[in-house]
Amino acid sequence: MSGIRVVDLFLHPVKSTAVRPVRAARVTYAGLLGDRRWMVVDADGDLLSAREEPRLFAIVADTPETDPTVRSALVLSQSPSAAVALTSLHVDEPGGPAVEVTLHGKPLRAVPADAEATAWVRESLGRHDVTLVWCDDPTRRALNPDYSRPGDHTGLADGYPLTLASEVSLRRLNDWVAETATERGEPLPDPLPITRFRPNVVVDGDLEPFAEDDWSGVTIGDVVFRLPKGVDRCVMTTVDPASLGRGHEPIRTLARHRKRDGKTWFAVHLIPDGEGPLRVGDTVVPTSS
């Protein structure tokens, strides 16, 4: 177990936009600092994710945590796959009142960004029914009490503060995907990258595929985490962030090998029991159930 280490760290400043790799990050009780504090909502205030709007993947969002040269709360720019060319925009934390929004059907409160920021997002996506919002107070967002403790909270993540994925498990999944393609007489696909699953922490080393399923917790560096449950996966993982095209994988193969309770599973959630730094190269020490 001592041979497990962090090999990647990722932040997602605006939910469903481009993944931002970092070498170090700070754990707070709400999750990694700078991760998923912003999101885009539709005219009804419902989360708009890349599952419904793949063009979100072409938006690049940076913060001081992803780029030390950033001097505002957020910088919006575009990847090469963007349909339109826009000048980068610096965005400050909004100061207006919080409004009700919903994330996967659950009501939350968030503060709308200024008109210029929302106009930029609307032009980037080619639609005029969306608004950029910011989570001003993550402590308002309690977690599912079936898997958490009183006081646990997060910002605009799907349900829990962090997600951890294993490169060992991904290699097994990619082997299965190749087997599926061969059985169906399809060309062998390129291996899926770990970023398809949008984790915060990626580990590799001396462990078996899907060993993380049996962990009850993990210590990374000096920070202790509980592991409440696995991550059930949706069709958003079938969108290629570079081309924005959709395919069958990984859901098709996960449904064959990793399906239970009517859902497909890959990676695990984490809830921090403390705060502190994480770095690529940190030792990972799991606790078994």
Confidence of residue 1 (pLDDT cuts 50, 70, 90): very low
Cα 5 off chain centre by: 20
Is pLDDT of 2 > 70?
no
Q: Which fold has domain 4-288?
A: M1 Pyruvate Kinase; Domain 3 (2.40.33)
Angle at 21 between CA 72 and CA 58, to 5 degrees: 75
Distance CA 115, CA 151 (A): 34
pTM: 0.96
Q: Say which residues have a Cβ less than 8 Å from residue 190's Cβ, sequence separation at least 6.
A: none
Does the structure show a pLDDT above 80 at 191? yes
- Give the pLDDT score at 201: 98
Return d(Cα 185, Cα 173) in angstroms, integer: 18
pLDDT in tens, 72-98: 999 999 998 787 889 999 999 999 999
Average model confidence (pLDDT) for the chain? 96
Task: Name which residue leads in pLDDT, 228 or 82.
Answer: 228
pLDDT of residue 185 exceeding 80, the answer is yes
pLDDT at 20: 98
